[in-house]
Amino acid sequence: MLSNILRRSATLRNGIAISIIPQLFLVQWLANHPDWVESYYSNGIYPWVSQFFRSLFGWIPFSIGEIIYTLLLLLGLRYLIRRRKKIKANPLAFLRNIVMVFAVFYFTFHVVWGLNYYRQPLGKTLAIEEKASYENIEKLTVRLIHKTNALQLQIAGDSSSIVKIPYSRKEIFNKIIAGYDSLDRQIPLLKYPKPNLKKSSYSTISSYMGIGGYLNPFTNEAQVNKKTPLFRFPVVVAHEIGHQIGYAAENETNLIGYLVTHKNEDLYFQYAASAYALSYCLNAVRRTDQKAFEILLDQINLGVKKNYQELQDFNAAYENPFEPIFTSIFSGFLKANNQTDGVKSYNRVVHLLVGYHKQYPL
């Protein structure tokens, strides 16, 4: 009987491991059918799945997903240490087990969130242009400079003072959630029921890795790096909620993060959004025309520059030789999930910003 059980167990493991092959083909097929994904998954299955997990874990004040990740890491290390002799004696069985675990992970990831990588582009859904010329990027940069300067002056009272956001991180969470509720009336696709926002327990590690926040796809918890400077914190929170409601592409959630804070009634949030968009546009100008970048930079209020310096100082404090490795790994993950530009896809938000403000001028 024991031999029969073992044979059945081996057959089951082999079957699960082999299932990765049809899974890969199915995901590739879905990647070529974004209309189907948009209709049946992103606007069909996913809202129910995500709201279920947010209802299940949202009331808990700490991240269940981070506890699960920690336990899985410890169990994995324990397995490698205790089974090291068996692994060495039978490496093919160990390789089969790795593929089996990956197959389960791959299936679960795509069912609970990952298929959103293959939905219709947000630009198409919002009916805005997704490709902008350098001239239009520069024009938007000029308008954003005027907008950011005006907000900074209105808040600080003079052009040289840094803007200090006077809210706690919990208050920022609540204001962003309220902002989503308000924006939902204008853009229904940004509906955010069953909020689930949490400060990451691994914020120090995230800071060293250059991570402002992330969505745990398996628990649908949005974790935000609590060490992020308050000046940038509102947009990061709004960005992560964008992932929660089903938008996977980083340029798209960058736009969503901007829109939610830009349209918030709070002046501090409007300032954070404007400065955020301006930083991306300035970088786009610099990549094309260094001289034009320097001219535009001179037009920015000193107080705004002090806020940018605050972010640079924060990043410098956590600079480490391993960050490029983390960035490369994350970039590879994005490329494997339909974002061919990797981490550079964040910068593509500039095109969406131009398209959006072409339709809705500042």
Averaged pLDDT for residues 52-63: 93
Query: In this predicted structure, what is the pLDDT of residue 334?
Result: 59
CB 140 within 8 A of CB 360: no
27-36, 48-57, 323-332, 342-351: which range is least confident on average?
323-332
CA–CA distances in Å: residue 55 to residues 41, 94, 114, 182, 315: 19, 37, 20, 21, 34
Concatenated DSSP letters for 185-251? Answer: TT-GGG---S--EEE-TTHHHHHHHT-SEEEETTTTEEEE-TTS-TTTHHHHHHHHHHHHTT---HH
Query: In this predicted structure, what is the pLDDT of residue 339?
Result: 67
Query: In this predicted structure, what is the pLDDT of residue 347?
Result: 72
User: Residue 26 is encoded by which pair of tokens?
Assistant: 């199915």
Separation between Cα atoms, residue 74 and residue 70, nearest integer Å: 6
Q: Using one digit for the tens of pLDDT, what is the confidence trace for 91-104?
A: 888 898 899 999 99
Alpha helices (H) in the chain, listed in sequence order: 2-18, 20-31, 34-36, 46-57, 64-82, 84-89, 91-112, 122-126, 134-156, 169-183, 203-209, 233-244, 250-262, 267-288, 290-297, 302-317, 323-336, 349-359
**Higher-pLDDT residue of 333, 4:** 333
2-11, 140-149, 188-197, 263-272: which range is least confident on average?
2-11
Round the average pLDDT of the chain to a whole number and report it: 89
Does the structure show a pLDDT above 60 at 77? yes
Confidence of residue 344 (pLDDT cuts 50, 70, 90): low
Query: In this predicted structure, what is the pLDDT of residue 345?
Result: 57
Instruction: Fill in the DSSP letter of residue 344.
Output: G
Separation between Cα atoms, residue 160 and residue 166, nearest integer Å: 18
Does the structure show a pLDDT above 50 at 152? yes
Concatenated DSSP letters for 87-113? Answer: HHH-HHHHHHHHHHHHHHHHHHHHHHT
Does the structure show a pLDDT above 90 at 130? no
Averaged pLDDT for residues 306-330: 82
